[in-house]
Amino acid sequence: MLKNKRITVTGGKGFLGSHLLKTLKDYGYRHITIADRPEYDLTDIADIRRMYEETRPQIVIHLAAKVGGIGFNQEKPAELFYDNLIMGTQLLHEAYLRNIEKFVALGTICAYPKFTPVPFKEEDIWNGYPEETNAPYGLAKKMMLVQSQAYRQQYGFNSIFLLPVNLYGPGDNFDPRSSHVIPALIKKCFDAIDNHSDTLEVWGTGAATREFFYVEDAAEAICMAMNAYNESEPINIGAGFEISIKELTELIAKLTGFQGKIIWDKSKPDGQPRRMLDTTKALKEFMFTAKTNLTTGLIKTIDWYKENRHLIK
């Protein structure tokens, strides 16, 4: 039913955005535009209004975000809060003013409280404050949930709010200043091999657990939700498993061929103690279940990095 709709994807040049564009085209969507830098600065209301006038979307999928790992979160908390808050708030409000048919907002697992019972259920999202190192980012993104529900209640505006867990896959961000754990570990392993180093230093204790969601699966989940979900209650999308950072590091070392010793810098933070989503609602509401197991996804990501690392600054 949506194949002929005009769809605008914010952040369409980014990691998730590039995979989502491919998935949308594979599904047969014909009219897709991208709203991203440098053409549009989505923290600038004038650029947002110009974007809506030029792309004339009927559906908006808002992926654009300023995001990074623990170090980046500690270095840039104010920017992470402001940029993400202002993008989401203004994009959704201007979408309402233009009678956009549907607004798909991507939140983050960082919106959940620090000590959420595992697996994280959507109804627990307000039961505490997020983990301190990523709270400004997580809370800024979570305000789209408040706005989505308020605008549906008062205006009948159709927006949905998806909560993806940590993404990874081909085309990920491998910049050590802002990358997440999987691309950071892959790069560290290859750098150690190149430098003939017999040690690999990793932040934290390795005890924290995470769930990792292969990016192509995430793109499919977004398409399915766009098609079939029309409520403002938040909905988790993920892979439904958890692995410790220690186990993950050992697995990536094995897959990349690094055979040295892993040294844990316990002076650095672990971040949230545990993360894993309850994804039963996504299965119930739009029949989504992740297809890609972690080892398969890591091999694809590592292969991509090997082929493209010479192009990465």
H/E stretch holding 162 reads: strand 159-164
Strand pairing category for 31-35 and 6-10? parallel
C-alpha 264/C-alpha 252 separation (Å) is 15
Per annotation, catalytic residue among 29, 40, 112, 137: 137
CB burial class (10 A; 0-12, 13-18, 19+) of residue 51?
buried
Which amino acid makes up residue 9?
V
Name the DSSP letter for residue 125: T
Judge whether 137 counts as a catalytic residue.
yes
42 exposure class (CB count in 10 Å sphere: 0-12, 13-18, 19+): buried
Phi, psi of 198 (to 5 degrees): -105, 10
CA distance 14 to 11: 5
* 199, 263 contact by CB (below 8 A): yes
Distance from C-alpha of 78 to C-alpha of 6, rounded to nearest angstrom:
34
Distance CA 287, CA 121 (A): 17
> What are the distances in angstroms from CA 85 to CA 59, 164, 176, 252?
20, 18, 25, 34
Closest C-alpha to 166, from 265, 71, 232, 245: 245
Secondary structure string (H, E, C) spanning 112-123: CECCCCCCECHH
> d(Cα 18, Cα 298) in Å, to the nearest integer?
18
Active site residue ranges? 137
